């Protein structure tokens, strides 16, 4: 243009004119082509982003599907993580994305802190971390809702001081519809409730807050606050008033706190799954507000899974969903609860080890007490010891055992328990009737049989593990306190239940040591052994057998009365199991009285008496011992000989026997179990051994 403006000769004018034409063509054409190429690039980027979101959603679905099974859960987590990474990277290619450095800082800060804390947290503290992460998701959704509502409020109020012209144009181009505003309000409310409620749940689970905080009229107050949140949400969506939006968020956060305060620790599985559903729904609603397909799909999947899990947890706790929303947990039915008769019967770890070692089937029921004691590793070591002895071992899991859904599964998996040894409640309940020994560690309300038998009980109707149907039940418990429901557990007073008091990890370690070959040696309790010149002071407290007229000798007992449960199944080789039999077998218990409570349920078949291998156990003693039991037990009117072995731990005897029927017999024995006289009557009658006093003997 400059050349043409200064041209003087015709040739200069022609060349200048040509230069202007070509230059103008280059500028105009280049601009149009570049603009069209940019449009194509933007469209291509938009297509790539949406395609990436679709692929990410597919990966989410695949990951969720694989996480449904413990066998494929680890790969499912990786698939879902890959989907999240793809969606995050794709978001950076959205057109008109601003504040990228700030986004990167926020991503690094949030992801870095969460990654570090998740890697440092102990497995037993997982429930509170899950609750906290649920709250983070809800808080993110609430923040998105707040940003969108305040953005529209600023535009409506013409408060656009800090807005760029491009941002104003973009916002004006997409005026919010009524649906968008409603979903923004609903998503923000749900997210705020999930945030504050999850923080309270975290504080409760972490021991920073009392388990329950209640006051009169609490339910009415919660309902009024919920109604106020709804009213303020309607005002905020219709008027876009800043004060209404702020008040709406304050009350929504308060509602989450009020909903969670009265809930106790045992109900946390329901609460965590509920807030997980809340977080998913909030994210999905805010995804619709933003027009982000990835948020919609991911939020709907999390919300649907959370709702289903909440329903399953509430059913397992026998809680209506309305009681989850406005908690009335622990409120029992009307009427007077049934009285529990009997007493808790303690047992020593050595006797439990003998009982489990001779069993064919053992089921271990873990509960929250196992998590508190961090006993999962010791329990698995005990189970492995039993498995090496040929015992069939399973773990029974109640759906709400612990403080979060799947809490016990996580602990057992962390300890290395194979998935095929873990059974859920519906699968294992029919098997308890044929189980020899059930070991309950840290579980209380989830094994309480009154949930099925007492309509006045607070837990009536709650599905429980039917461990009371097992032949023998051993409960590891720190003390005699009640469970979360605050009621006595009838299982602890059942005839087939024994209580092993103490720390869960220490008790499991004691049982494992007692089952270790060459470590189970006879105890010196109540018997003089070479080099051990003492007697158990408790021995003098044992009752004595009633002496007959032919015996005028002293009957001072050397042993305390014990109760030993029977084993149903073939007798195993004592030598191969590392136990040391008695030598001489009964003489060490001369003038002592002990009790053997025998219970069995095996098919009616007669078996010959079998003595244990090794010269240290005379066959005669086995015969007389077996005769004593077989004569006493006559469920069908005729004696049935069964193999019996008697293990002596000092003055404490452990017996295992095979018999038929559902009978319980008490045998009071003195001296060498000779000349047995069985009185007429029911199988429960007492058998008294009448004989001359055995010569003094010691365990060798």
CA–CA gap between residue 408 and residue 367 (Å, rounded): 7
> Nearest CA to 126 among 232, 59, 205, 49?
205
Residue 215: both structure tokens together = 């006051």
d(CA 405, CA 127): 9
DSSP for 529-546, written as a single string: BTTB----GGGGGS--PP
Find out whether the peptide bond into 584 is cis, omega within 30 degrees of 0. yes
Note the residue count of the chain.
Answer: 700
Rounded to an integer, what distance in angstroms lies between the CA atom of residue 139 and that of residue 191? 6
d(CA 282, CA 249): 14
Q: Which residues pair with 598 in a beta bridge?
A: 665
Q: What share of the chain is helix, strand, coil (3-state, %, to 5)?
A: 55, 10, 40
Alpha carbon distances (Å) from 285 to 227, 267, 281: 21, 28, 6
C-alpha dist (Å) from residue 367 to 128, 267, 604? 17, 14, 37
CB-based contact 381:533 (threshold 8 Å):
no
Contact 421, 395 (CB under 8 A): yes
* DSSP tag of 7: -
Give how far Cα 306 sits from Cα of 40, 55, 190, 266, Å: 41, 23, 14, 18
Q: Give the three-state DSSP class for 285.
A: helix
> CA nearest 594: which of 682, 528, 686?
686
Rg (the chain; Cα; Å): 37
Q: Are 639 and 631 in contact (CB under 8 A)?
A: yes
Residue 90 CB contacts under 8 Å (≥ 6 apart), including other chains:
48, 49, 52, 53, 56, 294
Please tell me the number of Cα atoms within 13 Å of 574 on its side-chain side: 24
Which of 502, 183, 240 has its CA nearest to residue 373? 502
Looking at the DSSP bridge assignments, the partners of residue 666 are 597
Mapped onto helix, strand or coil, the DSSP state of residue 476 is strand
How far is the first Cα of the chain from the last one, in angstroms, to the nearest whole number? 122
Dihedral (Cα; 286, 291, 292, 297), 10-degree rounding: 70
- Please, what's the b/e burial string for 661-700 (b: 16 or more CB within 10 A of its CB; e: otherwise)? bebbbebbbbbbbbebebeeeebeeebbbbbeebeebebe
Pick from 230, 237, 241, 141: which is nearest to 181 by CA?
Answer: 237
What is the token pair recorded at 614? 């090794």
User: In this structure, what token pair is assigned to residue 35?
Assistant: 């603009």
Active-site positions read: 445
d(CA 319, CA 238): 37
Cα torsion 490, 491, 494, 499: sign? negative
Closest CA to 655 of 597, 603, 610, 593: 597
Q: Are 693 and 590 in contact (CB under 8 A)?
A: yes
Contact (Cβ atoms closer than 8 angstroms) between residue 632 and residue 597: no
Q: How far does CA 39 lie from the centroid of its chain?
A: 54
Distance of CA 62 to the CA centre of its chain: 25
């Amino acid at each position: 243009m400059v050349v043409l403006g200064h041209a003087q000769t015709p040739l200069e004018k022609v060349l200048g004119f040509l230069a202007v034409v070509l230059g103008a063509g280059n500028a105009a054409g280049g601009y149009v082509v570049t603009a069209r190429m940019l449009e194509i690039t933007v469209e291509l980027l938009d297509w790539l982003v949406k395609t990436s979101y679709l692929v990410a959603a597919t990966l989410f679905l695949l990951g969720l599907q694989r996480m449904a099974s413990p066998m494929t859960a680890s790969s499912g987590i990786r698939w879902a993580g890959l989907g999240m990474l793809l969606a995050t990277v794709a978001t950076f290619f959205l057109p008109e994305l601003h504040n990228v450095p700030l986004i990167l800082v926020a991503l690094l800060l949030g992801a870095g802190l969460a990654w570090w804390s998740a890697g440092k947290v102990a497995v037993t503290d997982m429930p509170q971390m899950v609750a906290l992460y649920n709250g983070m998701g809800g808080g993110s959704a609430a923040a998105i809702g707040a940003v969108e509502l305040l953005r529209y409020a600023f535009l409506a109020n013409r408060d656009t001081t800090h807005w760029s012209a491009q941002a104003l144009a973009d916002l004006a181009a997409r005026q919010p519809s009524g649906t968008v505003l409603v979903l923004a309000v609903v998503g923000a409310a749900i997210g705020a409730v999930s945030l504050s409620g999850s923080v309270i749940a975290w504080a409760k689970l972490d021991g920073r807050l009392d388990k329950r905080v209640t006051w009169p009229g609490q339910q009415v107050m919660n309902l009024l606050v919920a109604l106020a949140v709804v009213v303020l949400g309607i005002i905020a969506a219709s008027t876009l008033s800043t004060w209404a939006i702020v008040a709406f968020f304050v009350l929504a956060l308060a509602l989450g706190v009020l909903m969670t305060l009265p809930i106790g620790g045992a109900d946390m599985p329901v609460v965590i799954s509920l807030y997980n559903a809340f977080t998913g729904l909030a994210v999905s609603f805010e995804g619709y507000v933003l027009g982000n397909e990835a948020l919609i799909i991911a939020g709907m999947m999390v919300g649907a899974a959370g709702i289903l899990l909440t329903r399953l947890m509430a059913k397992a706790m026998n809680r209506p969903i309305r009681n989850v929303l406005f908690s009335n947990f622990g409120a029992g039915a009307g009427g007077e609860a049934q009285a529990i008769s009997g007493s808790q019967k303690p047992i020593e770890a050595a006797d439990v080890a003998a009982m489990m070692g001779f069993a064919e089937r053992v089921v271990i029921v873990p509960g929250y007490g196992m998590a508190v004691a961090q006993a999962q590793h010791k329990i698995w070591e005990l189970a492995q010891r039993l498995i090496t002895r040929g015992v069939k071992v399973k773990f029974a899991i109640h759906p709400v055992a612990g403080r979060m859904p799947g809490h016990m599964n996580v602990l057992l998996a962390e300890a290395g328990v194979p998935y095929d040894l873990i059974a859920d409640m519906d699968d294992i309940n029919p098997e308890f009737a044929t189980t020899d020994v059930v070991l309950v560690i840290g579980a209380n309300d989830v094994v309480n049989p009154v949930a099925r038998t007492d309509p006045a009980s607070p837990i009536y109707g709650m599905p429980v593990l039917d461990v009371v149907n097992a032949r023998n039940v051993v409960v590891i418990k720190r003390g005699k306190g009640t469970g979360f429901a605050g009621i006595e557990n009838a299982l602890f007073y059942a005839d087939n239940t024994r209580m092993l008091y103490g720390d869960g990890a220490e008790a499991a370690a004691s049982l494992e040591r007692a089952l270790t070959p060459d470590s189970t040696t006879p105890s010196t309790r109540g018997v003089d052994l070479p080099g051990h010149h003492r007697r158990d002071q408790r021995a003098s407290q044992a009752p004595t057998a009633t002496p007959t007229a032919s015996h005028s000798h002293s009957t001072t007992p050397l042993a305390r009365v014990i109760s030993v449960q029977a084993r149903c199944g073939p007798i195993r080789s004592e030598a191969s199991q590392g136990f040391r039999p008695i030598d001489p077998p009964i003489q060490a218990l001369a003038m002592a009285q002990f009790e053997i409570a025998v219970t069995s349920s095996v098919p009616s078949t007669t078996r010959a008496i079998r003595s244990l291998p090794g010269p240290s156990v005379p066959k005669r003693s086995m015969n007389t011992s077996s005769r004593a039991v077989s004569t006493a037990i006559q469920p069908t009117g005729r004696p049935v000989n069964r193999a019996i072995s008697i293990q002596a731990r000092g003055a404490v005897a452990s017996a295992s026997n095979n018999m038929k029927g559902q009978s319980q017999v008490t045998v009071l024995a003195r001296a060498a179990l000779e000349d047995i006289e069985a009185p007429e009557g029911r199988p429960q009658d007492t058998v008294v051994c009448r004989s001359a006093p055995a010569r003094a003997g010691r365990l060798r």
